[in-house]
């Protein structure tokens, strides 16, 4: 299964693979994102940030501090997502980045690991970004691609 995506001015093939198991203890991943640098200036080059994979238990402990009408007892971070960022904050995806790929590289090949979903504000200390775990949706992706191919 291949997905086309612009990366550093070139189109490369990104194989969808569960690289979470390959990089469970890895520190850095690339999350290329288009973003607004200083409104109304828009970045003209694809941006990226290196993110550390964090445990979902860590994310749950942090996001449980939030209370909202839709989540009065806090928020649990399920297995179907990947938690990535840094405890001190400062590096993360932000507004308008949702849907961009969270990727890892192995043996020269880029793999789509996740899709930026949401976070609390932008790069806030103690609140890593939440990314949809692509590997859990590969059967569905294959069925949709097969239908439209």
Q: How far is residue 18 CA from its own chain's centroid?
A: 13
DSSP the chain: -EEEEEETTEEEEEEE--TTTTSTT---EE--B--EEETTEE-SS-B--EEEEE-HHHHHHHHTT--BTTBTT-----TTEEEEE-TT------TT-TTPEEEEEETTEEEEEEEEEE-STTT-TT--EEEEEGGGGHHHHHHHHHHH-
CATH number for position 95: 2.40.10.10
pLDDT at position 29 is 42
CB atoms within 10 A of CB 122: 15
Specify the higher pLDDT residue, 126 or 16: 126
In this model, does residue 26 exceed pLDDT 50?
no
pTM, two decimal places: 0.73
* Cis before 24 (ω within 30): no
Residue of 93, 95, 89 whose CA lies nearest to 127 = 89
Count of domains forming the chain: 1
Mean pLDDT of 43-64: 82
In this model, does residue 132 exceed pLDDT 70?
yes
Mean pLDDT of the chain: 72
Mean pLDDT of 128-133: 90
In this model, does residue 107 exceed pLDDT 80?
no
Domain that holds residue 23: 2-148
In this model, does residue 12 exceed pLDDT 60?
no
Calculate the dihedral angle through the C-alpha atoms of 94, 83, 33, 43, rounding to the nearest 10 degrees: 30
């Amino acid at each position: 299964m291949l997905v086309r995506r612009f990366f550093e001015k070139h189109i490369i093939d990104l194989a969808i693979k569960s690289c979470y198991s390959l990089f469970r203890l890895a520190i850095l991943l690339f999350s290329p994102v288009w973003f607004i640098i200083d409104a109304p200036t828009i970045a003209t080059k694809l941006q990226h940030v290196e993110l550390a994979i964090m445990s979902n238990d860590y994310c749950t402990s942090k996001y449980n501090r939030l209370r909202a009408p839709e989540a009065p007892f806090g928020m649990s971070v399920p297995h179907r997502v990947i938690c990535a960022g840094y405890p001190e904050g400062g590096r993360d995806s932000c507004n308008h980045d949702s849907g961009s790929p969270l990727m890892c590289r192995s043996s020269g090949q880029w793999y789509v690991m996740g899709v930026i979903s949401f976070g609390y504000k932008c790069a806030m200390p103690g609140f890593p970004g939440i990314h949809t775990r692509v590997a859990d949706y590969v059967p569905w992706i294959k069925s949709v691609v097969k239908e439209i191919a």
